[in-house]
């Protein structure tokens, strides 16, 4: 059985520690009186079943092993409606802009590299359909590959 060290600071914020690192297996390792919650494992922001950061203003952040990371949606959802897509700590999205801010700004990123929308579309197309246009031969018959 794990033994946690729980500290409550002068503002009433609770912190859970194991081996002097923020850590809690069964809930957030930091709980603020205003309702904000932060999940940590071994000193790193980390949660596999939801956002590791849930601020009182509604902002949410998905973290895995200390890096912003989410595969099924934006890794950061800001309280103003802005969104950011991150994979393994890098801004990255292959099905739209990786940054969508409430003021209308859109940023196009692949592996943390900011691109123009045109360049982004070109690179995504190359990745999605690297075989389009190639000719293959099967049983002596040649076929030209096309996008489905």
pLDDT band at 102 (very low <50, low <70, confident <90, very high): very high
Residue 139 lies in a domain: no
Tell me which H or E stretch contains 122.
Answer: helix 117-128
| CA atoms of 78 and 29, how far apart (whole Å) | 21
Q: Would residue 14 be called left, alpha or beta, if left means φ above 0 and alpha means ψ between -120 and 50 degrees?
A: beta
- pTM of the shown model: 0.83
pLDDT of residue 130: 62
* Contact criterion met (CB below 8 Å) for 125 and 119: no
Residue 137 lies in a domain: no
Q: What are 117's two structure tokens?
A: 């929308």
Task: Give the domain range for residue 39.
Answer: 5-115
Number of domains in the chain: 1
């Amino acid at each position: 059985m794990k033994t946690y060290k729980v500290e409550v600071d002068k503002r009433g914020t609770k912190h859970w520690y194991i081996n002097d690192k923020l850590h809690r297996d069964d809930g957030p390792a930091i709980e603020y009186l205003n309702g904000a919650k932060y999940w940590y494992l071994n000193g790193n922001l980390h949660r596999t079943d939801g956002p590791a950061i849930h601020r009182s203003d509604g902002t949410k952040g998905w973290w895995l092993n200390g890096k912003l990371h989410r595969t099924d949606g934006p890794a950061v959802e800001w309280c103003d409606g802005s969104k950011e897509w991150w994979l393994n700590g890098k801004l990255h999205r292959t099905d739209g802009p990786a940054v969508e801010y409430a003021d209308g700004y859109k940023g196009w990123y692949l592996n943390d590299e900011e691109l123009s929308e045109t360049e982004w579309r070109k690179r995504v197309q190359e990745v999605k359909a690297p075989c389009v246009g190639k000719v293959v031969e099967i049983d002596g018959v040649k076929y030209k590959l096309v996008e489905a």
